[in-house]
Amino acid sequence: MSEDKKPKRGLDRRSLLLGAAGGVAVTGAAAAGFVTLDRQARSLRTPAAVEGGPAQIAESFQDSRPAYAEAVTAPADAPNIIVIVLDDIGFADLGCYGSEIATPNIDAIAGAGLRYSNFRTCAMCSPTRAALMTGLNHHSAAMGWLADLDSGYPGYRGDLTHEAATLAEVLQEKGWNTLHVGKWHVNVAHTNGANGPTDNWPTSRGFDRAYWFQGHSTDYFRPGELLEGTAPVEPPDRPGYFVVDDLTDRAIAYINTQKSIDPERPFLLQLCYPAGHSPLQAPAADRDTYRGKYDIGWDGVRTERLKRQQALGLVPETTVLPPLAPGFPPGRPCRRRSRSCSPATWRSMPA
């Protein structure tokens, strides 16, 4: 058959209608499929979060709106804070306050800052700590006396009250990293054991990390018990160990770790040295440095300190010394084992 006599192929009306109907069916099926997929996606898709408000809970997931918790961050210009607590140190025991004891690093800090000369203390370590940590009168912090015995009365519990927030608890909630190193001594004695209760131990009172010891004192060369958080740990086994140096090393390590992990986060470090609290112990080299310097006795030492305080402008030139205790003769020389003959205990601080 010649090419011009072959039947010509084309779309007749029947084919066109059938094709159109099929296309509509396919298109409709696809559209229905997309609707189904969209509905399924809506049931799985997380709705937009609520900004700064509580989550909105509806009858279905797609009609609810979440609210995400954000980490608390301190202000951009928030400072690092270091609080150094020195046990049983008097007003004139630091060089910057007229002492003959060499404390050059503390003196440098004082020279670049402020030296207060009108303040009060609570006469004992536990009340002073409680007042410092809470900002309250020590009786209001339940620490009218040492943290060892509960008298049965609110002001003399010997156990830091939970009705007052500590500085660490406040700053922890505001985004600071909080660290405690050293002596604690604001929890009642019967809670000192390994089984607690630990509700008044450092990590329960606002401190993220703590390297510390219980009670009012410890052996400087062989600490009875040190704790990391709530776990007892052995002191480092090294020649020449001295607990003040150990506490300083741990404080530095805490800061280095914190700054390595989260350098923008400010920190609070509460560093509590036991020196010069009893037992009066110091490395031999520090002890020997001051040999013979205190042969002038109590009266001579305090007279010389007052002169230096007057020269520094810390007290008026008209200031006079209070009388010595009854029965304590003026000019009495220091005995070998008396408290004033152990300035190396103070010097043993990283001063």
pLDDT in the model for residue 239:
94
User: Is the model's pLDDT at 265 over the cut of 60?
Assistant: yes
Average pLDDT over residues 92-100: 95
Backbone angles phi, psi at 313, to 5 degrees: 80, 15
pTM value is 0.79
**pLDDT at position 350, please?**
56
Query: What residues contact 72, with CB distance under 8 A and at least 6 apart?
Result: 173, 174, 175
Choice among 26-35, 42-51, 108-117, 145-154 with the minimum mean pLDDT: 26-35
pLDDT at 210 over 60: yes
* Residue whose token pair is 């490395």: 283
Residue percentage of the chain with pLDDT more than 70: 81
What is the tens place of the pLDDT at every residue in 212-262? 999 999 999 999 899 999 999 999 999 999 999 999 999 999 999 999 999
Q: Which amino acid is at 129?
A: R
Alpha helices in 136-272 (DSSP H): 167-173, 243-261
Supply the DSSP string of 202-239, one letter for each residue: GGGTT-SEEEEE-SS---SSS-S-EEETTEEEPPP--T
- Say which residue, 341 or 350, is predicted with more confidence: 350
- What pLDDT is stored for residue 338 in this prediction? 43
pLDDT grade for 93, boundaries at 50, 70 and 90:
very high
Which residues does the annotation mark as catalytic? 125, 185
CB 127 within 8 A of CB 167: no
**What's residue 90's pLDDT?**
86
- The pLDDT, as a whole number, for residue 333 is 60
Helix (H, G, I), strand (E, B) or coil at 54: coil
Report whether the peptide linkage leading into residue 276 is cis, meaning its omega lies within 30 degrees of zero.
yes
| pLDDT (0 to 100) of residue 340 | 40
Mean pLDDT of the chain: 85
User: With 50 as the cut, is the pLDDT of residue 110 above it?
Assistant: yes
